[in-house]
Amino acid sequence: MGSFGGLFYEFFSSNLITMQDESTLVTLIITLVSLLVISGLFSGSETGMMAANKIKLKNLSKKSQKSAQRALELLKKPDELLSAILVGNNFANILASAIVTIIMIEYFGGNVLLGSIILTIVILIFSEITPKTMAAIKPESFATRTAFFLKIVLIIFKPLILLTNFISRHLLKIFNLNAKDASLNDSLNTEELRTLLEESGDLIPKQYRKMLSSVLGMEELVVEDIMVPTSEVIGIDINQNVEMATKIIESSEYTRMPVFKDSIDEIVGILHLKDSHSFISKIEQDEQYEDILQKTYFVSQSTALMKQLREFLSNDQSLGLVVDEYGEIQGLISIEDIFKEIVGKFGSDIEDLEKEFIKLKDGSVITDGNSKIRDLNNFLKWNIPEYNSKTINGLITEYLDQIPQANLCIEIDGYRFEIIDFDDNLISKIKVLKI
């Protein structure tokens, strides 16, 4: 009996030790897996936070998503955020490495090198590549989901983060860098916004992309670029007969038009078409009409187009006469012209341009001499220089420094201009070809 008891004791003790070893091994493996998951969470959150679109996060925060608000708060201090992620990630990886070392020594004959190789491969696949790829695909989702976790990590490792940041800031000073400058990278210049529009694809409808592109292009434009020159201004000459004045009013595409004596230089005021009936009646009866007219609003030709739009809106104006630096009237601009520039040339406007610019098989275009260079450039994606002129006739006259003659052919900056017809010292028909 004593012999049997001894054998039972030895069997039970050995199995108990084995069970304890197995329990310890399972615990170590569970801890190791947990650390690898945490490491993956840190790696993914790094990519997600840095790649997240702040505009999208702001929109989400406006919808009362607290997770988006937390993410934005964390992104306000990128140096602290990165420190928390890196400290946490390194802490998890070091602990994982220590556990693997223990496992290899205690249970696999001390082959630590093999364990390190296996751990490295596992970390790369499951704790680096996979979570970072997932975060790169949906950065905003990853950022919002991990924001609370990262906030807790910031609190836990606060002293260590402050120490590492202190050292990091002084190291950055050596390279003349400041972590706060990262917030300055949020703004995009005009070219970057254009690229963003081009790459938006189907996210933004084509017509809206064109409209937004036009708005961005307005940044470079001034009033002079889109004004109607004095030679093309349609207004009412009070010295004309009533029938002519009535026809001009009826055919006007604007709600307001200038009223002058003999020429636009002798401006009297601006007529709103709603007052046209009273205006015509007073002219017919030879009565005073000045009180019906609105005061003339003058605009500098060098004013930026976007600024002029704001000026129109703030001053409750919709039409202005454009003057140069000497106060001489150069043309007319309306708020409708600016809106048309924003909206762009679609539909019937395109048809009008196709009629204005007749394309030939050799790639050349026949048009009028008073056609705007900018319209031609936009229509054919050309780059004819404007210099100080807005029309083709003005460009050639400026280039020659004299009034051009019929049948003349010249080349200007890679474009050939062949005068086909000439009328009253102005080019009536011209052929343009990109060389």
- pLDDT at res. 237: 87
Q: What is the largest CA-CA distance in the chain?
A: 143
Give yes or no: residues 116 and 76 share one domain: yes
What pLDDT does residue 39 have?
A: 92
Amino acid type, 162: L
Residue 9 lies in a domain: yes
Q: Are residues 322 and 369 in the same domain?
A: no
Q: Indicate if 13 and 112 belong to the same structural domain.
A: yes
Same domain, 96 and 108: yes
pLDDT exceeds cutoff 90 at 412: no
Residue 33 resides in a domain: yes
Residues 310 and 384 in one domain: no
Q: How many domains does the structure of the chain reveal?
A: 4
Write out pLDDT tens, residues 161-190: 888 878 877 787 787 766 555 554 555 555
Whether 146 and 104 map to the same domain: the answer is yes
Contact 30, 104 (CB under 8 A): no
Which helix (DSSP H) or strand (DSSP E) does residue 431 occupy? Answer: strand 426-434
- Please report whether residue 343 resides in a domain: no
- CATH code of the domain covering residue 248: 3.10.580.10
- Mean pLDDT is highest, among 63-77, 306-320, 361-375, 403-417, for 306-320
pLDDT at 141 over 90: no
269 in any annotated domain: yes
Name the residue with tokens 């005021």. 269
Q: How many CB atoms within 10 Å of residue 285? A: 8
Between 169-173, 246-250, 323-327, 349-353, the lowest mean confidence (pLDDT) is in 349-353
d(CA 133, CA 200): 21
Residue 68 lies inside a defined structural domain of this protein: yes
Give the span between the Cα atoms of 381 and 374, in whole angstroms: 10
**In a domain? residue 105:** yes
Three-state SS for 64? coil
Which pLDDT band, with edges at 50, 70 and 90, does 210 fall under?
low
Cα 184 to the chain's mean position, in Å?
15
pLDDT reading at 2 higher than 50: no
Other CB atoms within 10 A of residue 35 CB: 22
β partners of residue 415 = 412, 434
pLDDT at 93 exceeding the cut of 80? yes
Q: Give the per-residue pLDDT at 213.
A: 66
Q: How many CB atoms lie within 10 A of CB 343?
A: 14
φ/ψ (deg, to 5) at 210: -65, -40
Angle, CA of 405, 406 and 412, to the nearest 5°: 70
Same domain, 43 and 129: yes
| Residue 120, SS3 per DSSP | helix
- Pair 270, 315: CB distance under 8 Å: no
Instruction: CATH number of the domain at 388, please.
Output: 3.30.465.10
Are the CB atoms for 125 and 36 separated by under 8 Å? no
Q: Are residues 319 and 404 located together in one domain of the fold? A: no
Residue 365 has pLDDT above 50, yes or no: yes
Predicted pLDDT of residue 14: 44
Residue 230 and residue 215 share a domain: no
377 in any annotated domain: yes
pLDDT category at 95 given cuts 50, 70, 90 is very high
Which residue, 56, 89, 58, is CA-closest to 73? 58
Q: What is the mean pLDDT of residues 243-263?
A: 83
From the CB of residue 130, how many other CB atoms can be counted at a distance below 10 Å? Answer: 14
Cα–Cα distance between 256 and 292 in angstroms, integer? Answer: 12
Whole-number Å distance between alpha carbons of 11 and 17 = 10
Q: What is the DSSP string of 280-314?
A: HHHHHTT---GGGSBPP-EEETTSBHHHHHHHHHH
Average pLDDT, the chain: 79
Strand runs (DSSP E) across 273-375, as ranges? 298-300, 319-323, 329-334, 358-359, 365-367
The two tokens of residue 409 are 């052919």
Residues 398 and 374 occupy one common structural domain: yes
Residue 56 belongs to some domain of the structure: yes
Q: Quick one: pLDDT at residue 172?
A: 75
Asked if 140 and 17 sit in the same domain, the reply is yes
- Domain interval for residue 234: 221-335
The one-letter amino acid at 202: D
Tell whether 297 and 361 lie within a shared domain. no
